[in-house]
Amino acid sequence: MGMTGFTVALMLIGVIIYPCVCVKEFSDHQEIKIQTLLKRLNKHALISVKSVDGDIIDCVPIHSQPAFDHPLLRNHTIQMRPSFIPEITSTYTKKCTKATQAWHKSGRCPENTVPIRRIMKEDILRSKSIESFGKKTTSSIPENDPSKDHEYAVMNSMQGKYFGTKFAVNMWKPEVQVPNEFSLAQTWLVSGVGTTRNTIEAGLQVYPGKYGDNNLRLFVFWTANGYQGTGCYNNDCAGFVQRSNKIAVGGTYNTVSQYDGDQYELSVLIWKDGENWWLQIGEEIVGYWPGQLFNSLGNGGTIVQWGGEIVNKETDGKHTGTDMGSGHFAEEGYKKASYFRNLMTIDETNTLREPQGVYPTTGHDNCYNIKAGDGGTSWGVNFFYGGPGLNERCP
């Protein structure tokens, strides 16, 4: 074979082999990054619980949890309990059955450990990238949300100074049409604007693109720069400090409300104590967001929001059929539509008060809507919300 022929042969071989080498090198590099992230997030557990929903809950020593990998928390002294819990002076009746997390059927975590949902390789591969795992990649604030595929039905407080909120949220398991959509019910405590925006968020969500299933899950979230890279869901990065050995953020609830049947709800309390922002679910103190994570929230939030959010990917060019709440419109009312009740905010004196002048934000009322409930009842400030998405009136 002449030189020219040999060169051509090498070029042909290069065309065939070179991409394969690149793919293998990329694959090996990706695998190393995934394993490094898994090793960082999944701390050594004293015991592990295999939940009936498929999760593995690791009981991690409280001082070894992922939160303390944050550079601002390396010398953090964990707070085992808040100095106070805001008390309610008004009637706050509970009409619904208590909900428990699914993993409790298989075991419990010992004292001085915290239950953390184990992150699997598949969880990371479902994210848009390894670097974006656990993060929100677009703004997720109901007002002035630049992301066109997010839709909301929320109640907003007036602008002011807020140091927490308390409410009860009805528990439903909404149907989500495609894996990269979600449906949630949550609260937002917000301060700042743009890249200085701080949020503390907590609630319930169905998000198959994150968790790999359609289970209803408790979640927490935070950002300190307007969703531009800081913060994350649950224990997916260093930040939120777990305190409870009974409730796992990211954990599943199998007990959900039925249409015209039994109703379940979750009581949520978030409040600022010193520098830290605490979370209580029902009667259990779950943990806190350390004040060091934030800047503008140190002076309190400026607005509080409560309600539902979905993602609409317009599969096949049509509006999504993903449910918000129960999947039924607000006007259907109790046992049929989802609700938030007994909305309260916390002022600078650490007093729980009913918010005045709340107002709604919605996108497409023919897809999802919201309706204020009757005042002057034991439900206090309340509202119904939700909808089925795609229907004869929703494009």
Give the integer Cα–Cα distance in Å for 293 and 70.
9
User: Is residue 168 within 8 Å of 268, Cβ to Cβ?
Assistant: yes
Neighbouring-strand partners of residue 306: 155, 187
Better pLDDT: 290 or 139: 290
Active site includes 283?
no
pLDDT of residue 17: 43
376 — pLDDT class (breaks 50, 70, 90): low
How many other C-beta atoms can be found within 10 angstroms of the C-beta atom of residue 300? 17
Does the pLDDT at position 223 exceed 50? yes
Quick: pLDDT tens for 235-248.
999 999 999 999 99
Give the integer Cα–Cα distance in Å for 120 and 104.
20
Rounded mean pLDDT of 249-258? 96
Nearest CA to 113 out of 277, 269, 287, 252 is that of: 287
User: Is residue 336 within 8 Å of 326, Cβ to Cβ?
Assistant: yes
Nearest CA to 182 out of 204, 208, 203 is that of: 208
Give the residue carrying structure tokens 């039994």: 262
Quick: pLDDT tens for 184-214.
999 999 999 988 999 999 999 999 999 999 9
Both tokens of 151, joined, read 């839709």
Give the integer Cα–Cα distance in Å for 242 and 62.
7
Does the pLDDT at position 395 exceed 90? no
Which amino acid belongs to residue 366?
A: N
pLDDT of residue 35: 96
362 — pLDDT class (breaks 50, 70, 90): very high
pLDDT of residue 13: 44
How many other C-beta atoms can be found within 10 angstroms of the C-beta atom of residue 39? 9
Does the pLDDT at position 114 exceed 70? yes
Give the integer Cα–Cα distance in Å for 371 and 160.
23
Quick: pLDDT tens for 263-285.
999 999 999 999 999 999 999 99
Rounded mean pLDDT of 90-107? 74
Give the integer Cα–Cα distance in Å for 317 and 71.
45
Residue 198, helix vs strand vs coil: strand
Quick: pLDDT tens for 50-88.
999 999 999 999 999 999 999 999 889 999 999 999 986
Predicted model pTM:
0.91
Give the integer Cα–Cα distance in Å for 253 and 365.
29
Indicate the burial class of 162 (C-beta count within 10 angstroms; 0-12, 13-18, 19 or more).
buried
93 — pLDDT class (breaks 50, 70, 90): very low
Rounded to 5 degrees, φ, ψ at 239 are 165, -80
SS3 of the chain: helix, strand, coil, percent, to 5: 20, 30, 50
pLDDT of residue 14: 45
pLDDT of residue 144: 53
Instruction: Name the catalytic one among 151, 181, 265, 309.
Output: 309
Q: Give the CA diameter of the chain.
A: 95
Active site includes 31?
no
Quick: pLDDT tens for 33-42.
999 999 999 9
Does the pLDDT at position 29 exceed 90? no
- Give all domains of the chain, ordered by start, each with its CATH number: 30-84+97-386 (2.60.120.1270)
Q: What is the mean pLDDT of the chain?
A: 90
Give the integer Cα–Cα distance in Å for 279 and 252.
17
Quick: pLDDT tens for 128-172.
999 999 998 666 667 655 457 899 999 999 999 999 999 999 999
Give the integer Cα–Cα distance in Å for 24 and 35.
16
User: Is residue 285 within 8 Å of 78, Cβ to Cβ?
Assistant: no
Instruction: Name the catalytic one among 151, 181, 201, 265.
Output: 201
Both tokens of 66, joined, read 């992922």
Quick: pLDDT tens for 315-340.
999 999 999 999 999 999 999 999 99
